[in-house]
Amino acid sequence: MIIVRRTLLLLLPLILLVGGSQGQQNSQKRQQITVATVSSNYREGLNVLAREYERLHPEVQVRIQIQPTNGYETWLRTQIGTGSDTAPDIFNSNYAHGFYERGLTVNLTSFLDNPNPYTSIPWRSSLNAQFLEKQKVNGDVVILPIDFIEIAFFYNRDVFQRLGLDPPTTWEEMLRHAEAVRKARLIPFAVPGDADSYWSGTVGWIFRFFTDAYLRDAVPIVMSRPGDWDYNAKQNANFRVDVSNAMSDATVVSNPERLIAAVRDGVIRMDTARFHEAYEKVREFAKYWQRGFNGTNANSAYQLFLTGKAAMMLHSSATISQLNKDMDDLGAADRFQWGVFKVPPITQSRFHIPPFRGVGGAGTMWSVVKKSDAQTARVVDFLMFTTTPHAAQTLVEETVKARQPLNGPMLIAGAKLPESIGRHFGAFENRGFEKLSFRGLADEQESVWKWTVWAQRYLDGRMTTDECLKRYQQTMVEAVPRVVANNRYDMDPRTKDSAAP
């Protein structure tokens, strides 16, 4: 017996080693699908769906790879842009642009009319047609919009009731409310003013919806025309500027070289009377932000609202679920009732400015990295599975259960938000989307950085409007050759140029 037991003990590591090796081999034989996302985008729901998909397809292993938001774009460009073997199959395409133009991602257009095996109807039937169209790249569907995100003003309902205020319906009324709040010794608006805010946050949003409103009549200058490589007669042929319709130019195709040429040739300028009025109105608005706002980051500004020190803040729809969570975590004495109102329109302008439109759109967006045809088919099948009504509802419910923020409504048919979130969302919807807005030129980083410097000094009162716009105009003109070189534009809108690597 002793000999037998000893033999078994000696054999056991060998058995485990062989079994483990076989297990590893079996695992390695499974076909891999890797989804690389950031921590705020449905991580719990995606893990649930990955396991469901694996049960349906035992030969496939789905990895949900969570990346920090900070540095995600750089990581994507390292993984995808250099053709790394560890490149993900699916990624958040709203964090990095230009991959499709370089032939690195898949054109999904041909798959959309195929039956989805998990719903038995054409795949496109479960997807939002308007957003598919809006997110096209060079006329192709390379981005799948999953949900919707937009901005609006959050307000402290208790403060408003105490001061006898209703949600404002005009921009001028909102500023009068702000004056009343200030007289009550509260901060009217909590606004972050660091560089991130000017680039991708609150201050940037403000300048975006202002410049879009003041440039609505300039869309025909930059839209593609007959003979242009990206001309689409269905979308452009009969377009006429209609400022009464916020969606009138939603699908109009703009030609990037016509935009750059308009800036180069002075057809679109920053030092005009229109920009002068727009910037004056933004600075008037800034008088009601907290003192020292340029030294405030997004979290600090949010805390001013959460703690009742500020009566209003401009924030995204993702803040609804976050604010619900944070209110629940506060003590009963510190909680307050809150509401949301849309960005109200200007009614006093020499230029008859139309209502402000949104700066949001699709929030979470998936793109597929180009690999083999077999891998593309496998990944598309997984995407079909994850864009069914059941899957979309799973993403919502698991995110809510985990107390993670939801961007807003799903852009997948059949999915619904919980009432505690959905009831606030009316202020974010049906406002249209910006078409022309400027903070630098074509997101070229040197021009954005220079604009940020001028805008911060301007809103701080250290620069006049004329001086700010003069410097901004110079910054835009100087950026033209850099944008042309970076994008390899030949400045002929009739030819499709290859983007820079």
pLDDT, position 499: 54
Q: Count CA within 13 A, CB hemisphere, residue 321.
A: 20
pLDDT, position 2: 35
Confirm if 210 and 278 have CB atoms less than 8 A apart: yes
> For 264-291, what is each residue's pLDDT tens digit?
999 999 999 999 999 999 999 999 999 9
User: Is 18's pLDDT higher than 80?
Assistant: no
pLDDT, position 15: 34
pLDDT, position 498: 65
User: Is 24's pLDDT higher than 70?
Assistant: no
Share of the chain above pLDDT 70, in %: 93
Which tokens hold the place of 355?
């209502």
CA angle 322, 328, 333 (to 5 degrees): 125
User: Is 8's pLDDT higher than 70?
Assistant: no
User: Is 369's pLDDT higher than 90?
Assistant: yes
Q: Where are the alpha helices (DSSP H) in 248-351?
A: 256-264, 273-286, 298-306, 319-329
Confirm if 435 and 216 have CB atoms less than 8 A apart: yes
pLDDT, position 205: 97
Share of the chain above pLDDT 90, in %: 78
3-state secondary structure of 258: helix
Q: Which residue has the tokens 């105490």?
A: 162
User: Is 46's pLDDT higher than 90?
Assistant: yes
How far are the Cα atoms of 99, 152, 178, 426, 488 from residue 430, in angstroms, in the given order? 30, 12, 26, 8, 37
How far are the Cα atoms of 179, 201, 284, 441 from residue 278, in angstroms, in the given order? 20, 19, 10, 18
Domains contained in the chain, CATH given: 29-148+361-408 (3.40.190.10), 151-359+436-487 (3.40.190.10)
pLDDT, position 28: 57
Closest alpha carbon to 282 in 198, 187, 184, 163: 198
pLDDT confidence band for 370 (50 / 70 / 90): very high
Crossing angle, helix 445-459 and helix 273-286, to 10 degrees?
A: 60
pLDDT, position 487: 87
pLDDT, position 182: 98
> For 438-466, what is each residue's pLDDT tens digit?
999 988 989 999 999 999 999 999 999 99
Mean predicted lDDT score pLDDT of the chain: 91
- Mean pLDDT for 67-87 is 86
Confirm if 310 and 135 have CB atoms less than 8 A apart: no
Closest alpha carbon to 170 in 14, 281, 317: 281
> For 195-209, what is each residue's pLDDT tens digit?
999 998 999 999 999
Q: Count CA within 13 A, CB hemisphere, residue 187.
A: 21
pLDDT confidence band for 14 (50 / 70 / 90): very low
> For 394-411, what is each residue's pLDDT tens digit?
999 999 999 888 998 899
pLDDT, position 7: 34
User: Is 234's pLDDT higher than 60?
Assistant: yes
pLDDT confidence band for 73 (50 / 70 / 90): confident
Closest alpha carbon to 149 in 313, 318, 339, 299: 318
pLDDT, position 136: 87
> For 250-260, what is each residue's pLDDT tens digit?
889 999 999 99
pLDDT, position 6: 34
User: Is 191's pLDDT higher than 70?
Assistant: yes
Q: Which residue has the tokens 């606004």?
A: 191
Which tokens hold the place of 62?
């789905």
pLDDT, position 461: 95
3-state secondary structure of 344: coil
Quote the pTM value: 0.87
Q: Count CA within 13 A, CB hemisphere, residue 427.
A: 23
- Mean pLDDT for 459-477 is 97
**Between 482 and 101, where is the model more confident?**
482
Q: Which of 18-32, 266-280, 378-392, 464-478 has the lowest mean pLDDT?
A: 18-32
> From edge to edge, which strands make up the β-sheet containing 365-368?
60-67, 31-38, 90-92, 365-368, 144-145
pLDDT, position 17: 37
- Mean pLDDT for 166-185 is 98
CA–CA distance, 119 with 294 (Å, rounded to integer) = 51
